[in-house]
């Protein structure tokens, strides 16, 4: 970008300004931080998935040269500083989570999954810390374990918590069952589908890491960590460690990915500052890849099965759905919301659905805790309804595109309140579907599919029409959902005396390009060169309040906070200009970085001059300085939507799936930086494809994780992902000042179903049963599905 291009930055494909440091290896991540005199931490993790712990003997570890200390839960109870509490999960009006089910930061007498922390060793170097861990002796009494949620709720299953004999942590219902059953009685057609969602590992290239230091004279805990939510971490750690929140400072270096796994409050992230406080010296910890696989929250793991009822025209009458979530060993901070209300809020996707009944249960299992992963449980919802539409079309004998067309919410119906009470703000679903079919040359493609089948070649076309909630609000909805901190965001803009600008936002970039997109907004609004804008995130001292980056919210909410702060800065600037040029405020115009008196353009001041005057403050009407802070709270959700289509060819002899095409047609409202939006789509779609075809967390019968390394866990590589074609559509979001809709999570939400539908479509003539697909659809499962039919 050249320095003089100012106006019109919003909407430009500005090349990401942050990338140089990443591609040259200059970026500083948490483990790159230099510390002197730091103790290195290593964690003893339970080797068993389910066991009683009778004794932990740390004496041999403590004797090792270079070991500073070893702490167990018992040691922490007896220590000087208060022992850590459990990690809380927020109860809501609809789901009560008893403290018994909270995840402890360190286990004492019982472990519920393999990898649960039992002790932390601190040593002068990392190798010694790990050697110390190897010398700790644990007296376990192994208990029978269960990792399959269906098996966990059987009567004869081992029990994780005495008060939950069937391992059911919650049983949540929505809608009137009788009413929905009636709709099914009147139906002309009924079809069913099930989504048996495997667990996935959100696997950021940078594993979790923390460096903590404690200053006893000020009682200050300084924490540097790899996180998506520094302010929430500060609050959580304050609670867990019983430390004053205003004495905790969280600072975030560059973050190498998060995908939703760096939102939750984790055990070691509290143990490390606890040790720093206890030892009064810096403590550092860097997780290994296997630690991440075993102990960072897993995603997906929600099974949904159900039916749809249609009238004779193929119009939806009702949907019934039964869900079972595989929670793991405890109830992690957000999982109960994500697998219930936040799942079904989009379960009707783009369709007019008059009636819905759903029941979702959460099963405790001897596995890693489940929580958010990019797309959260909207993935299950959209996969379910889109698979169901595909299966229903077959049942009705109608083309799947036509069935969708007949049920889409009309473009003039917005705002539209869905059967779940979600308010869809805007959209044009017909346009997205027709555009998709157009680009695909759908009718010709169907003809080609027929021809190829005659040659024994199996082409499949999969559609996935989605909606996605971004920018969750308003406050009463957040309250109803039980979101413990309403999804506002704060943004501050400071114009310095020299005219350069620093903008602060409470979100946290971990790869998405905030530095560029936010700078575009601020520079465009203020009419200044983009390189004059510095963006700062991830420091609780720079900006006291924030919510963080997740739920496709940063641009929509954080970007809006900055946009409104920019407006406020301009208003304050206007008052200064009016005062200094002795004209009424309403006569002061502003455009392209310049204020002038209406009708007298020679009487003008640039925003840089105003900044200078505001700081000099020899002659300003109000307070000195030129700065504004906004806490932006959405009044409405920004509903992103679109249609994805996958065209694949499947080889029934090898079960191999080859992509011919992947098309992503998305309405993300106004795109601040279309290139960054497309980048988000590409990455998300890779994860959707991977859920459909590759990735899978596997436990053996004893609850040992078999996929604890990337040798066994199929994270997608570039060659697994086809070229993605994107088409931009836009109905601007009416509520936020940018008209933007979040796009971060749409790829996996739409992608999984598009691919599954394409594979099922390809195999239809071979008798493959599409109503119950077991994902990932590996070549072996496809081959067996085609060849082992009973």
Partner 1 sequence: MYPSEFDYERAETVDHALELLSGDPEAKIISGGHSLIPMMKSGLANPGTLVDIGEIDELTGIEWDDDTVSVGALTTYATIADDDELWDELPVLAEAAHEVGDIQVRNRGTIGGNVAHGDPASDLPAAVLAADATVVVQGPDGERRIDVDDFFLGMYATELGEDEILTGLEFPRSENATTTGAYVKKPSPSSGYALVGVAVSLEVDDGRIESARVAANGIMDHGVRLEPVEDGLVGESLDDVSFEDVAAVADEDLEEFMMMDDIQASAEFRAQLLKVYTEEALNDAVDRLDASLPTA
Residues that bind partner 1 (CB under 8 A): 126-127, 130-131, 288-290, 653-655, 694, 698, 706-707, 709-717, 720, 779-780, 783-784
Cβ(654)–Cβ(714) under 8 Å? no
Residue 265 vs 691, nearer CB to partner 1 = 691
Q: From the CB of 786, what's the least distance to partner 1, in Å?
A: 11
Please say whether the beta carbons of 108 and 79 come within 8 A. no
**Of 141 and 653, which CB lies nearer to partner 1 in the complex structure?**
653
For the chain, state the CA radius of gyration.
27
What does the alpha-carbon distance between residue 401 and residue 411 come to, in Å, rounded to a whole number? 17
Q: Which is nearer to partner 1, 64 or 439 (CB)?
A: 64
Write down the least CB distance from residue 134 to partner 1, Å: 9
Q: Is 437 helix (H, G, I), strand (E, B) or coil?
A: helix
Minimum distance from CB of 731 to partner 1 (Å)?
A: 38
Question: Which helix or strand (DSSP H or E) is residue 674 part of?
Answer: helix 674-693
User: Strand pairing partners for 224?
Assistant: 211, 251
Q: 296 vs 420, which CB is nearer to partner 1?
A: 296
Find the shortest distance in angstroms from Cβ 201 to partner 1: 12
CB atoms within 10 A of CB 590: 19
DSSP per-residue string spanning 539-571: BTTTSS----S-TT-IIIIIHHHHHHHHHHHHH
Least Å from the CB of residue 657 to partner 1: 11
| 8 Å CB contact between 683 and 677 | no
Is the Cβ of residue 321 or residue 756 nearer to partner 1 in the bound state? 756
Taking the C-alpha atoms of residue 221 and residue 224, their distance in angstroms, rounded to an integer, is 10
Q: Which are the contacts of 446, defined by CB distance < 8 A and separation ≥ 6?
A: 399, 461
Query: Per 3-state DSSP, what percentage of the chain is helix, strand, and coil (rounded to 5)?
Result: 35, 25, 40
Minimum CB separation of residue 325 from partner 1 in Å reads 23
Measure CA 320 to chain center: 27
Contacts for 356 with CB less than 8 Å, ≥ 6 apart = 174, 175, 180, 318, 319, 320, 321, 344, 347, 348, 419, 420
* Least distance in angstroms from the C-beta of 694 to partner 1: 5
Rounded to the nearest whole angstrom, what is the least distance from the CB of residue 767 to partner 1 in the complex? Answer: 18
Residue 133 or 668 with smaller CB distance to partner 1: 133
CB of 206 to partner 1, least distance (A): 15
Specify the residue, 613 or 707, whose C-beta has the smaller distance to partner 1. Answer: 707
Q: How far is the CB of 759 from partner 1 (least distance, A)?
A: 15
| Nearest distance in Å: CB 686, partner 1 | 13
From CA 46, how far away is CA 28, in angstroms rounded? 32
Residue 293 and residue 200: Cα distance in Å, rounded?
Answer: 9
- Closest among 211, 207, 255 to 40, alpha carbons compared: 211
Q: Which is nearer to partner 1, 364 or 648 (CB)?
A: 648
**Closer by beta carbon to partner 1, 135 or else 355:** 135
- Cβ contact 35:282 at 8 Å: yes
Question: Are 248 and 221 within 8 A, CB to CB?
Answer: yes
In the beta sheet, which residues pair with residue 249? 222
Angstrom distances, CA of residue 479 to CA of 148, 467, 471: 32, 22, 15
Q: How far is the CB of 443 from partner 1 (least distance, A)?
A: 34
Comparison of 198 and 228: residue with beta carbon closer to partner 1: 198
Residue 498 or 787: which CB sits closer to partner 1? 787
User: In whole angstroms, how close is the CB of 712 to partner 1 at the nearest point?
Assistant: 5
Closer to partner 1 by CB, 709 or 789: give it: 709
Nearest residue to 532 via CA among 577, 474, 493, 588 = 493
For Cα atoms 267, 273, 279, give the angle at the middle one, nearest 5 degrees.
Answer: 125
Give the chain's end-to-end CA distance (angstroms, integer). Answer: 63
| Beta carbon of residue 434, minimum distance to partner 1 (angstroms, whole number) | 35
Please give the C-alpha separations between residue 687 and each of 115, 206, 531, in angstroms, as whole numbers: 25, 17, 33
Measured CA to CA in angstroms, residue 352 lies from 28, 223, 409, 572, 668 at distances of 49, 49, 5, 47, 21
Closest CA to 767 of 737, 790, 740: 790
How far apart are the C-alpha atoms of 360 and 329, rounded to whole Å? 18
Work out how close the CB of 642 gets to partner 1 at its nearest, in angstroms, rounded to a whole number: 27
Q: Based on CB atoms, which residue is closest to partner 1, 290 or 702?
A: 290
Considering beta carbons, is residue 286 or 516 the nearer one to partner 1? 286
In the complex with partner 1, the residue whose CB is nearer, 273 or 301, is: 301
């Amino acid at each position: 970008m050249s320095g003089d291009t100012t106006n019109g930055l919003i909407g430009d494909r500005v090349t990401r300004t942050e990338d140089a440091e990443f591609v040259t290896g200059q970026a500083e991540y948490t483990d790159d931080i230099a510390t002197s005199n730091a103790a290195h931490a290593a964690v003893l993790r339970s080797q068993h998935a389910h066991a009683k712990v009778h004794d932990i003997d740390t004496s041999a570890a403590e004797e090792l040269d270079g070991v500073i200390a070893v702490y167990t839960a018992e040691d922490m109870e007896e220590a000087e500083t208060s022992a850590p509490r459990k990690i809380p999960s927020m109860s809501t009006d609809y789901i009560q989570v008893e403290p018994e089910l909270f995840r402890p930061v360190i286990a004492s007498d019982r472990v519920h999954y393999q990898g649960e922390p039992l002790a932390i060793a601190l040593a002068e170097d990392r190798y010694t810390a790990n050697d110390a861990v190897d010398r700790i002796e644990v007296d376990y009494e192994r208990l029978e374990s269960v990792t399959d949620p269906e098996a966990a709720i059987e009567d004869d299953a081992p029990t994780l918590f005495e008060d939950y004999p069937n391992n059911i942590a919650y049983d949540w219902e929505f809608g009137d069952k009788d009413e929905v059953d009636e709709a099914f009685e009147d139906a002309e057609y009924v079809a069913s589908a099930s989504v048996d969602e495997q667990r996935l590992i959100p696997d950021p290239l940078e594993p979790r890491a923390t460096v903590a230091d404690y200053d006893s004279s000020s009682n200050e805990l300084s924490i540097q960590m790899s996180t998506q939510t520094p302010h929430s971490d500060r609050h959580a750690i304050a609670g867990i460690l019983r430390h004053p929140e205003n004495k905790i400072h969280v600072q975030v270096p560059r973050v190498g990915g998060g995908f939703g796994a760096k939102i939750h409050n984790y055990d070691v992230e509290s143990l490390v500052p606890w040790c720093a406080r206890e030892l009064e010296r810096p403590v550092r910890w860097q997780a290994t890849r296997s630690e991440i696989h075993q102990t960072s929250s897993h995603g997906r793991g929600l099974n949904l099965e159900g039916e749809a009822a249609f009238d004779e025209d193929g119009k939806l009458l009702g949907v019934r759905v039964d869900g079972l979530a595989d929670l793991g060993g405890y109830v992690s901070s957000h999982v109960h919301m994500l697998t219930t209300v936040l799942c079904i809020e989009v379960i009707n996707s783009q369709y007019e659905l008059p009636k819905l009944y759903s029941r979702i249960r959460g099963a405790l299992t001897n596995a890693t805790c489940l929580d958010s992963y990019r797309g959260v449980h909207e993935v299950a919802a959209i996969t379910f309804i889109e698979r169901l539409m595909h299966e229903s079309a077959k049942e009705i004998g109608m083309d799947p595109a036509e069935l969708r067309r007949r049920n889409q919410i009309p473009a003039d119906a917005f705002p539209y309140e869905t059967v779940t009470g979600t308010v869809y703000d805007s959209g044009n679903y017909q346009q997205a579907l027709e555009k998709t079919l157009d680009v695909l040359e759908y009718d010709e493609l169907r003809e080609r599919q027929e021809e190829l089948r005659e040659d024994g070649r199996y082409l499949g076309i999969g559609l996935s029409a989605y909606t996605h909630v971004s920018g969750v609000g308003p406050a009463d909805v957040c309250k109803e959902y039980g979101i413990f901190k309403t999804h506002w965001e704060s943004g501050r803009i400071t114009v310095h005396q020299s005219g350069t600008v620093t903008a602060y936002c409470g979100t946290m970039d971990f790869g998405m390009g905030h530095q560029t997109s936010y700078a575009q907004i601020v520079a465009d609004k203020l009419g200044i060169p983009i390189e004059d804008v510095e963006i700062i995130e991830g420091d609780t001292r720079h900006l006291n309040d924030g919510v963080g980056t997740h739920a496709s919210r940063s641009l929509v909410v954080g970007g809006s906070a900055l946009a409104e702060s920019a407006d406020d800065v301009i208003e304050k600037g206007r008052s200064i200009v009016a005062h200094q040029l002795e004209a009424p405020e309403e006569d002061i115009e502003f455009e392209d970085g310049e204020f002038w008196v209406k009708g007298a353009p020679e009487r003008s001041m640039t925003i840089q001059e105003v900044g200078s005057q505001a700081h000099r403050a020899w002659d300003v009407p109000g307070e000195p300085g030129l700065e504004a802070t906004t806490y932006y709270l959405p009044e409405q959700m920004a509903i992103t939507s679109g249609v994805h289509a996958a065209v694949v060819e499947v080889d029934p002899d090898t079960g191999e799936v080859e992509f011919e095409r992947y098309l992503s047609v998305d309405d993300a409202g106004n795109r601040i930086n279309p290139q960054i939006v497309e980048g988000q789509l590409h990455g998300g779609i890779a994860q959707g494809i991977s859920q459909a075809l590759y990735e899978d967390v596997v436990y053996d019968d004893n609850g040992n994780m078999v996929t604890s390394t990337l040798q066994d866990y199929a994270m997608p590589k570039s060659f697994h992902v086809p070229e993605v074609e994107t088409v931009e559509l836009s109905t601007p979001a009416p509520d936020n000042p940018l008209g933007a809709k979040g796009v971060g999570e749409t790829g996996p939400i739409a992608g999984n179903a598009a691919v599954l539908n394409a594979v099922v479509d390809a195999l239809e003539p071979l008798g493959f049963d599409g109503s119950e697909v077991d994902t990932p659809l590996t070549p072996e499962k496809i081959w067996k599905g085609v060849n082992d039919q009973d």
